[in-house]
Amino acid sequence: MTGGITSPGAGWRQADQGPAVQQRTGRKRRHRGRGRHRGEVPMVEDVEFTSYYGRQIVKTPVWKSPDVPLYLFLGGAAGSSAILGALADLTDRPTLTRVSRLTAGAGSLASVVFLIHDLGRPERFLHMLRVIKPTSPLSIGSYILAPFSAAAGATAAVELLGWFPRLKRFGGAVAAAFGGPLATYTGVLLANTAVPSWHAPHTQLPYVFGGSAMAAGGGITMAFTPVEEAGPARKMAITGAVVELAAMHKVETDHGILSEPYHEGRPGALMRAAQVCTAAGATLTAVAGRRRWGAVASGTLLAAGSLLTRFGVFEAGIASTKDPKYVVVPQKERLAARQQEHADTTTR
């Protein structure tokens, strides 16, 4: 043995001296993360960390864009519209009911198409209903989406055809029951992953998506409903926008280095655009929502804000997988904190 890895030098060798003997461990070579882009305000200090040649640790999700962000958006808009439609039906608002049902039906069918298109083997989409697993948000989501899209789709179809008025009310109620879970489970879908910037805000994302869904659903329905009947849609849209902005603010500020991807690069630009659209849409709804042009403009802004939020959140997560910093740094901090805690308890 000439000083292999198991020798006291642990494999360290020096060019002209052979194996090292009892050297103290020196500075490690660090692979620094990429530099910050110009004009961006640093959320946290640049940190030193080690990685394997700067390679990413967790895999980047293979979920496709725009399939998945569109699925999130359409599912949310459909879910909140279904709730609104059922309630409008009960309180005798025929046009709002009709518009909400059509939105829910169209949104749910389109979201199913996008979800299936995203599969690696689309022809096997029925395998989703092979088992039911509470540990898999996608499994639970399939059992939410399947009855929702069946009920909302059928309700929208009979609404168009004008058949079976009683069945319509029942279908609308079923869709409304699954509408809320459909809009918020997608937050769990993204959060229950090893993607650092999705997992960190795991209790906040459902609120972001729930609020975003109400903003989108309220916005779309109010744009297509006469203003005198669209009061509930306006109120839901404004509340949804406020919830979305508030929850998203927490996602963007609560998580230290893991909030960073929500501010930088393309996802950062998407998030900023989303905020502008949502805030402007909510304000315009309050100011001019009772006029036709105002309802159309603010509804469009709110829907756009919701859509941009989904794209921004999706892409921020994708970005957080591509830099090993977002895996290594928080985990090292977690380890250090745990060791500190351990030291504290053992020296009691």
Site for another protein in 73-112 (CB under 8 A): 79-80, 83-84, 87-88, 90-93
Candidates 34, 164, 203, 292; binder of another protein (CB under 8 A) is: 203
Nearer to another protein, 87 or 304 (CB): 87
Nearer to another protein, 41 or 62 (CB): 62
Spatial neighbors of 255 by CB under 8 A, at least 6 apart, are: 197, 200, 201
Q: Is the peptide bond before 66 cis (omega within 30 degrees of 0)?
A: yes
The angle formed by the CA atoms of residues 224, 113 and 210, to the nearest 5 degrees, is 55
Candidates 53, 165, 344, 346; binder of another protein (CB under 8 A) is: 53
Pairwise CA distance, residues 306 & 285, whole Å:
15
DSSP string, 159-215: HHHT--HHHHHHHHHHHHHHHHHHHHHHHHHHHSSS-HHHHTTTTTHHHHHHHHHHH
Is residue 124 involved in binding another protein (CB under 8 A)? Answer: yes
Candidates 109, 147, 150, 202; binder of another protein (CB under 8 A) is: 202
Question: Can you read off the two tokens belonging to residue 114?
Answer: 């996008």
Is residue 267 involved in binding another protein (CB under 8 A)? Answer: no
Stretch that binds another protein, among 22-30, 158-166, 250-258, 296-304 (CB under 8 A): 22-30
Is residue 335 involved in binding another protein (CB under 8 A)? Answer: yes
Closest CA relative to residue 203, chosen from 130, 255, 151, 142 = 255
Closest CA relative to residue 313, chosen from 214, 199, 178 = 199
Nearer to another protein, 184 or 309 (CB): 184
Is residue 297 involved in binding another protein (CB under 8 A)? Answer: no
Nearer to another protein, 14 or 253 (CB): 14
Is residue 20 involved in binding another protein (CB under 8 A)? Answer: yes
